[in-house]
Amino acid sequence: MLNKYHFLVALIIAIWLTFFLILIAPFDIAELSILNRIQIMPVYGIISFFGYMILVPLENWIYKKSDKSSFYKEIFIITLFNILVLIGCYIYYKSEIVNGMYSFIKFTLEVYYPTFFILLPIIIFARWFINKKVINKNSKKITLKGDNKLDILQINNEDLVCVSSADNYVDVYYLMNGILNKKLLRTTLKNIESQFPELIKIHRSHLINPIHFMEWKNSNTISLTQKEVPVSKNYKKKILAMYHSSLKTNDSPQIQ
């Protein structure tokens, strides 16, 4: 689903850039005939499309790690996109097809960046739309309550990482702005398990949210998002039998 939205953003950027270069004809492009512009300019749009799509696997990996968008992530992705497209555009500009005369510095400062900064608001808006669409589609609020009236925690379902028993309390581990936090509630693990059957019991003292499974650390421990949790022998079969691709890999430890 996320890749579909990224494809649409890349397509919007490519189409907008192509029409901008052909119809507005900034800089020295105006000297070219409309026919020449139609023949030459779409390649810049194609370069921007592939420059964006190349970064999608990296962004998906970052999203799985933090499961949240952030200002710094956006800066990082847009900066990488900018660098990739700049290099690709300049290579094409100096090719025999365009045969551009500007040096790299002159092309960057006088041609590329003025165009990029005009395009930037569209990139920011499109990515904001993606994040809003994905968050609204996937987010589901859950409320964890303790025995005390003020003992309450409300978070998005995907932010809950795991719940661990601590005598008459439970430690709730959850993400906030991509950072793992812990909340102590006066209740039992059995109560949490009955309220949220989507959580998986992997140990008598631990429940996990399966969407945060990362890998088997060893035969008795799994890695979640920013957290490692022990696995009891009695629950290994249940975990490995789950219809969850990350938990059914050939690298998973064998049942003893």
**Amino acid 66: pLDDT:** 59
Q: How confident is the model at residue 242 (pLDDT cuts 50, 70, 90)?
A: low
- CA quadruple 109, 123, 47, 50: dihedral sign: positive
| Final residue before a domain boundary, out of 138, 164, 180 | 138
For the segment 72-86, the average pLDDT, to the nearest whole number, is 92
**Amino acid 95: pLDDT:** 95
| Final residue before a domain boundary, out of 69, 104, 138 | 138
Q: What is the DSSP letter of 254?
A: P
Which tens digits make up the pLDDT trace of 6-30? 898 899 999 999 999 999 888 778 7
In single-letter form, the type of residue at position 167 comes to D
**Amino acid 78: pLDDT:** 93
**Amino acid 249: pLDDT:** 43
Q: Which CATH number do you get for residue 147?
A: 2.40.50.1020
User: Looking at the domain assignment, is residue 256 inside a domain?
Assistant: no
Do 128 and 155 fall within a single domain?
Answer: no
DSSP string, 87-131: HHHHHHHTSTTT-----HHHHIIIIIHHHHHHHHHHHHHHHHHHH
**Amino acid 237: pLDDT:** 77
For the segment 36-51, the average pLDDT, to the nearest whole number, is 95
Assign 32 to helix, strand or coil: coil
* Contact predicate 208/190, CB 8 Å: no
- Output the average pLDDT for the chain: 85
Do 70 and 25 fall within a single domain?
Answer: yes
Contacts of 51 (CB under 8 A, 6+ apart): 81, 84, 85, 88
Q: How confident is the model at residue 118 (pLDDT cuts 50, 70, 90)?
A: very high
Contacts of 101 (CB under 8 A, 6+ apart): none
pLDDT of 205 strictly over 90: yes
pLDDT of 137 strictly over 70: no
**Domain of 32?**
2-138
Do 232 and 217 fall within a single domain?
Answer: yes
pLDDT of 103 strictly over 50: yes
User: Looking at the domain assignment, is residue 237 inside a domain?
Assistant: yes
Do 21 and 127 fall within a single domain?
Answer: yes
Q: How confident is the model at residue 250 (pLDDT cuts 50, 70, 90)?
A: very low
**Amino acid 65: pLDDT:** 63
**Amino acid 134: pLDDT:** 61
User: Looking at the domain assignment, is residue 255 inside a domain?
Assistant: no
Do 20 and 91 fall within a single domain?
Answer: yes
Encoded tokens for 240: 């490995």
Do 124 and 180 fall within a single domain?
Answer: no
**Amino acid 59: pLDDT:** 82
